[in-house]
Structure 1
């Protein structure tokens, strides 16, 4: 019996083709993908296509679109064995992270992929990304899905979605997972490292929690920054600060006074690192002690994309008991390592 995979096409470069007369890129009707890629009919799975009515550039993807994707997966969860989301590359890590928090009790694969070149380009990376993603989205052993989480497949690597970031706009190998090992790799053989796969310890039934709150602000600090700008911050519920190294910031008394005032206004402060690899460790350096003093929350080794979408999901979410700080510090679906403070 062939496994059934629902392919959700949201837009992006992968759904374009080049007009070789004009040299411009144009979208094609993704409902005709089997004509573009007859190889899909030879797959050991049945593929059903659901394109967005209006394909979107990934820069237009946000909470409403995350909810649309989650709703499609929920409505079709019992009818399909796996799900493949085709997505533009620029914000794919945000969408993968958001879905990882929204899809509760997931026991089937949800794979996201895209491409750096259009599917109609002679040198495209789209076909390999699409075909191998379908393989991973339909991979079962002993009637159980091997992958039971949200993942990104790109350029021969399968990565945990909420651990990824896009680091190259030029190379086919566009994504990295700096603080977590790869889940699988495509070569002569298609491999999975089962020790790295996520399993829901609660073993709850699948459901969608589509709560997203947008009262979040992300701010990257830099040398010579005028702290008076912080006073212009509206009363956001959560401020995510991207700081130096393992958690350092300017040591001036004005820094403490400014951040303490933000906290006194009721704003939660989450601290993440500007470094791609590694994480936050309060107390490692003197210039990080300020965050412990004001009651900031360590983002540990989370990516900025995961920290932002996790904060959006948790803030004012009635389904979570306890404080925002306690819930944010929990490892919900493999987005953090148990390290640092």
Structure 2
């Protein structure tokens, strides 16, 4: 059997952090991570592309990471990206849209404890990521705590525990059990050609609705240059229309050409604007349902859509399109 050739792109994060006078900071190279990991049954090439805490990973870094993956996509059997945990789900979601129809598995991973700490979760996470890069179908994934998650369905749900990430609204793609690496759900492999498209519009906002929210704040965002908004609404997507009429504000924004996406504050299950009056009112004003997408996936999908020059109608159509498993459509 031919040994799989994998690429490790190192970007920093906790997994590569060392102690400093100002706290933990990224300091280990990808080669150092690989050396501390020990022997694994793959041929691995390492390339350090960033050395950042993931709180500092922003759209500029997304584009860089996507370009590097695209550049090497035909030279390896799989690619692993070591990354900080705080924004890893956002990066995984954005790569899903920037690298549609990717032709190899790309697996992001990190850790809650630095690699150089004796009881770190980093070695296990990195080993699972390499296994996923060697065995999974082409796509963007996140490997953490012995499971592999579709990248656009991943959410960080815990700050310190080793089981920091969960797969939301779909089962994990693979798990590590006593029987080894088990693929639970075979992903559909696209026959399309991968094209790099890093054109995005980051002038967007993610707003969590709460009792007393003043709709004028949405207009202030628009006046400050916001081109699209994702609202984490109540339950199935309900929005206030008594006294503080958020629904009317949404309508005004949409008529100005600013798409408004309605998602749910609930982590699991879907938004459905058709069920209650408070949702139907928003739907009538043109609010676009996020269905069962994560907030991370919804905001990055909106950025990418606006970057393509889509108007409100095109964004609505795009949000009713399943690009790579990010949404369940009835």
Aligned residue for 1:190, secondary structure, equals strand
User: Taking structure 1 as reference, are residues 319 and 219 closer, same or farther at Cα in structure 2, changes over 3 Å only?
Assistant: closer
Query: Unmatched 5+ residue regions in structure 2?
Result: none
Pick from 260, 282, 297: which aligns with 1:269?
260
Q: CA 1:29/1:257 → structure 2, altered by over 3 Å: closer, same or farther?
A: closer
Change (3 A) 1:268 1:171: same
- Does the aligned pair in 2 maintain the 1:105–1:205 contact within 8 Å? yes
For 1:315, the equivalent position in structure 2 comes to: 306
- Cα distance, 1:291 vs structure 2: 1.4
Query: Does the CA-based 8 Å contact 1:18-1:121 persist in structure 2?
Result: no
Matched residue, 1:257: 248
Counterpart in the other structure of 1:46: 43
* CA deviations over 1:158-202 (Å, ceiling 9, x no partner): 11010011000011000011201111101221100244x2322xx
> Structure 1 residues 316, 190: CA separation in 2 closer, same or farther (over 3 Å shift)?
closer
Structure 1: where are the runs of 5+ without partners?
A: 140-145
Report whether the alignment pairs 1:199 with 2:195: no
For 1:1-341, list aligned pairs within 5 A: 1-17=2-18, 25=24, 27-39=27-39, 43-52=40-49, 54-139=50-135, 146-188=136-178, 189-195=180-186, 197-200=187-190, 203-235=191-223, 236-252=226-242, 254-317=245-308, 323-339=314-330
Structure 2: distance between partners of 1:63 and 1:115: 22
What is the Cα-based RMSD across aligned positions, in Å?
A: 2.0
Q: Is the 8 A contact 2:231 2:260 kept in 1?
A: yes
Q: Deviations over 1:97-124 (max 9, x none)?
A: 0001111222210000000000011110
Q: CA shift at 1:31, angstroms?
A: 2.8
1:18 touches 1:118 (CA, 8 Å); kept in 2? no
Q: Distance in 2 between matches of 1:258 and 1:32?
A: 53
TM-score, scaled to structure 1: 0.89
Q: Using the alignment, how far apart are the partners of 2:283 and 2:205 within structure 1?
A: 20
* Displacement of 1:6: 0.6
1:318 is displaced (CA, Å) by 5.8
Partner-residue secondary structure (3-state), 1:138 = helix
Provide the residue aligned with 1:143 in structure 2.
Answer: none
Count of aligned residue pairs for this structure pair: 323
